[in-house]
């Protein structure tokens, strides 16, 4: 098996642009003055140890935030050395388990990635939830993985476009009379499924009645907005750039992309209502050489203060609500896990998409290209 590059946590990697996928929805520069991060003064003795843990993640700014929030303080507090591989990939994970050549222990993937592999084989270890902080939400726990951060796919709009009117739902996004101007929506190519949920909510389907998704109804809803969609975006950088350049007045977007835009003074805002709450997860490869240490780092990363540190470095939300008390209010308001934002979001049903994605993707692609 090919050898992958290894970096210890003492070696800083340049932040690089990565292709956004399910587990890497945006890239933000960790530039300028860094916030004062809360410190994890001590850790339970059960998390301490020796040896190492090898982690595969996505590289880029997310990995930089993980390094500062989790890996460096974990190594210092526990005595366990952290080695990172910026190459997280389901195909590589699958091949490692099948060949027994496990170069990774802990892998940063999506819940869907983990569940899909578990449908065809035994690729991940069961999670020992006795080590996990009680504050981790039940909705973020599953048998073979733990969701450790959140992001949201939401509506964004120019605040100077509608003479003071404020879009507040997907019905408003579809209302080209009250909110005139070109839109952008996700098409194909950025790694995620089509925005079927948005089309259905625009058609009047209540958020709590979305699943199972009615694909034909969604496509009929898309028909009504199609002429106003100037761009079907394929990379996460496109929506904020188009807002900034005044090419569009409204778009779907990953929430983290908007933070940088707003910091630049562009008159743009997020509508959290009816956005989709999505998540990243940890999985421990079956037969991992450092399984115990992997479980310890997983547990550490979902404690309140480490979660708060991560959310203060990059605009991902936390999955342990205890983190909120350590995050300044102004910063918390930017996150999908802020109580006021989270209650407006729809919890994306990963399990439904695993079973139906291929069929839905084919129908949407045919509609989009037809």
Q: What is the pLDDT along the chain (370 residues), one digit of tens a residue?
A: 333 333 333 322 222 222 223 333 433 444 445 669 999 988 999 999 999 999 999 999 999 999 999 999 999 999 999 999 998 999 999 999 999 999 999 999 999 999 999 999 999 999 999 999 999 999 999 999 999 999 999 999 999 999 999 999 999 999 999 999 999 999 987 678 999 999 999 999 999 999 999 999 999 999 999 999 999 999 989 999 999 999 999 999 999 999 888 888 999 999 999 999 999 999 999 999 999 999 999 999 999 999 999 999 999 999 999 999 999 999 999 999 999 999 999 999 999 999 999 999 999 999 999 8
- Between vectors from CA 207 to CA 206 and to CA 210, what angle results, nearest 5°? 85
The whole-number pLDDT of residue 29 equals: 41
> Tokens in use for 224?
């009504």
* Rounded Cα gap, residues 209 and 200, in angstroms: 10
CA distances, 56 to each of 8, 69, 176, 278, 311 (Å)? 12, 16, 44, 20, 20
> Tokens in use for 210?
């979305």
CATH top-level class of 7-150+279-340: alpha beta
Q: Are 159 and 267 in contact (CB under 8 A)?
A: yes
Q: Are 310 and 252 in contact (CB under 8 A)?
A: no
The whole-number pLDDT of residue 170 equals: 98
- Reported residue count of the chain is 370
Residue 106: strand, helix, or coil: strand
* Rounded Cα gap, residues 247 and 102, in angstroms: 48
CA distances, 182 to each of 172, 220, 320 (Å)? 13, 19, 38
> Tokens in use for 347?
């919890």
* Rounded Cα gap, residues 21 and 309, in angstroms: 23
Domain spans in the chain, listed from the N-terminal domain onward: 7-150+279-340, 151-278+350-369
Q: Do domains 7-150+279-340 and 151-278+350-369 have the same CATH topology?
A: yes
User: Superfamily assignment of 151-278+350-369 in CATH?
Assistant: Periplasmic binding protein-like II (3.40.190.10)
Q: Select from 328, 296, 307, 325 the least CA-distant residue to 147.
A: 307
The three-state DSSP-derived secondary structure of 165-179 is CCCCCHHHHHCCCCC
Preceding peptide of 88 cis, ω within 30°: no
The H-or-E segment that residue 53 falls in is strand 52-56
* Rounded Cα gap, residues 261 and 323, in angstroms: 25
Task: Give the gyration radius of the chain's Cα atoms.
Answer: 21
Which residues are bridge partners to 320 per DSSP?
Answer: 136
> Tokens in use for 287?
């037969």
The whole-number pLDDT of residue 11 equals: 26
**Residue 92, CA atoms < 13 Å, CB-side half-sphere:** 20
The H-or-E segment that residue 147 falls in is strand 145-158
Q: How does DSSP assign 163-216, residue by residue?
A: TT----SHHHHH-TTTS-S-EEEE-SSSSSPP-HHHHHHHTT--GGG-PSP-HH
Q: Are 281 and 141 in contact (CB under 8 A)?
A: no
Residue 59 per-residue DSSP state: -
* Rounded Cα gap, residues 348 and 321, in angstroms: 19
* Rounded Cα gap, residues 282 and 111, in angstroms: 8
First to last CA, the chain: 42
Neighbouring CB atoms inside 10 A of 336's CB total 28
Neighbouring CB atoms inside 10 A of 314's CB total 24
The whole-number pLDDT of residue 262 equals: 85
**Residue 290, CA atoms < 13 Å, CB-side half-sphere:** 21
């Amino acid at each position: 098996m090919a050898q992958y590059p290894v970096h210890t946590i003492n070696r800083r990697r340049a932040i690089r642009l990565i292709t956004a996928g399910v587990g890497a929805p945006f890239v933000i520069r960790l530039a300028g003055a860094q916030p004062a991060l809360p410190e994890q003064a001590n850790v339970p003795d059960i998390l301490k140890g020796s040896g190492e843990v090898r982690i595969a993640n996505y590289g880029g700014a997310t990995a930089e935030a993980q390094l500062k929030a989790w890996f460096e303080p974990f190594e210092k507090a526990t005595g366990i050395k952290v080695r990172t591989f910026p190459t997280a990939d389901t195909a590589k994970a699958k091949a490692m388990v099948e060949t027994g050549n496990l170069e990774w222990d802990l892998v940063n993937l999506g819940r869907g990635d983990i569940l899909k592999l578990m449908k065809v084989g035994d690729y991940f270890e069961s999670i020992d939830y006795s080590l996990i902080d009680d504050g981790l939400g039940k909705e973020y726990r599953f048998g073979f993985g733990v969701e450790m951060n959140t992001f949201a796919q939401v509506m964004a709009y120019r605040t100077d476009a509608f003479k003071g009117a404020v879009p507040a739902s997907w019905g408003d996004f579809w209302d080209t009379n009250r909110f005139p101007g070109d839109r952008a929506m996700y098409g194909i190519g950025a790694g995620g499924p089509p925005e079927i949920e948005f089309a259905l909510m625009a058609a009047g389907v209540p958020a709590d009645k979305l699943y199972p998704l009615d694909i034909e109804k969604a496509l009929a809803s898309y028909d009504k907005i199609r002429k106003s969609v100037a761009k079907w975006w394929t990379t996460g950088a496109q929506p904020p750039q188009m807002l900034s350049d005044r090419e569009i007045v409204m778009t779907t977007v990953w929430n983290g992309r908007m933070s940088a835009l707003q910091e630049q003074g562009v008159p743009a805002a997020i509508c959290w209502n009816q956005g989709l709450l999505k998540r990243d997860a940890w999985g421990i490869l079956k037969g991992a050489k450092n399984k115990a240490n992997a479980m310890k780092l997983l547990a550490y990363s979902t404690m309140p203060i480490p979660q708060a540190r991560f959310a203060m470095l990059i605009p991902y939300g936390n999955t342990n609500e205890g983190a909120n008390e350590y995050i300044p209010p102004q910063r918390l308001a930017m996150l999908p896990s802020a109580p006021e934002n989270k209650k407006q979001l729809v919890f994306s049903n990963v399990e439904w998409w695993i079973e139906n994605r291929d069929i839905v993707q084919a129908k949407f692609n045919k509609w989009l290209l037809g």
